[in-house]
Amino acid sequence: MQVLVVEDEQRMADLLRQGLEEEGHSVVLAADGRDGLAMAESHPFDAIVLDVMLPGLDGFSVVRKLRAARNQTPILMLTARDATPDIVQGLNVGADDYVVKPFAFAVLLARLRAVSRRGPIPEPVPLQVANLTLNPASREVMRGRRRIGLTRTEYSLLELLMKRAGRVVPREHLIESVWGFDAEVRSNTLDAFIRLLRDKVDTVGEAKLIQTVRGVGYCLRES
């Protein structure tokens, strides 16, 4: 298997190359995000091991650009950032798996074998309700011809509502899905983010798509 390793810490990069080559794999190294992206775009690797904190272009951006260009090479993200939102973001932008440093090399090998067996992941299907569209591959959101810029939390809320378009999503489910099961997030925090999302999605003169179901939750549907 030919593996691209994008890692700016020289010692870690050398250890990964040595360990992978001892397992019979061919390894190509890149020390920053831009070089890693260029290599991934120009050569058909079997898998990519990608650090998140990279100079030039961070790992999240590398994954997002590859998936937007329909490059479906299996990607294993490798990072010291173990907060739940970071892990969720890595998987949401298109990574196949996520390993947190420090790690046992045997675990990395097992995860790498697992993602490579899956082969290229299918391109996610764009979501649409009325003239509102969301493309999970590029994370682009459009209302008609108007591009909508969203924060990570706003995007996660909208994606969940669009996936369940026409159905009421309970407040508890929205909080657990976006912030995590153990997050201490109050209900009024959810309300505040929904207001921000409404201001961007449902502007003056457009049909109101995000609707409140009092005492239950929220629903995205055509009026």
Mind listing the domains of the chain with CATH numbers?
2-118 (3.40.50.2300), 127-220 (1.10.10.10)
* pLDDT tens-place string over residues 48-57: 999 988 998 9
Encode pLDDT of 171-221 as tens digits. 988 988 888 765 677 888 999 999 999 999 998 888 999 999 999 999 999
At 31, which amino acid appears? A
The predicted pLDDT at position 81 comes to: 64
Model-level pTM? 0.57
Amino acid at 150: L
Question: For the chain, what percent of residues have pLDDT higher than 70?
Answer: 93
- Using CA atoms, how far apart are residues 30 and 20, in angstroms rounded to an integer? 15
Residue 109: partners with Cβ closer than 8 Å, 6 or more residues away: 19, 23
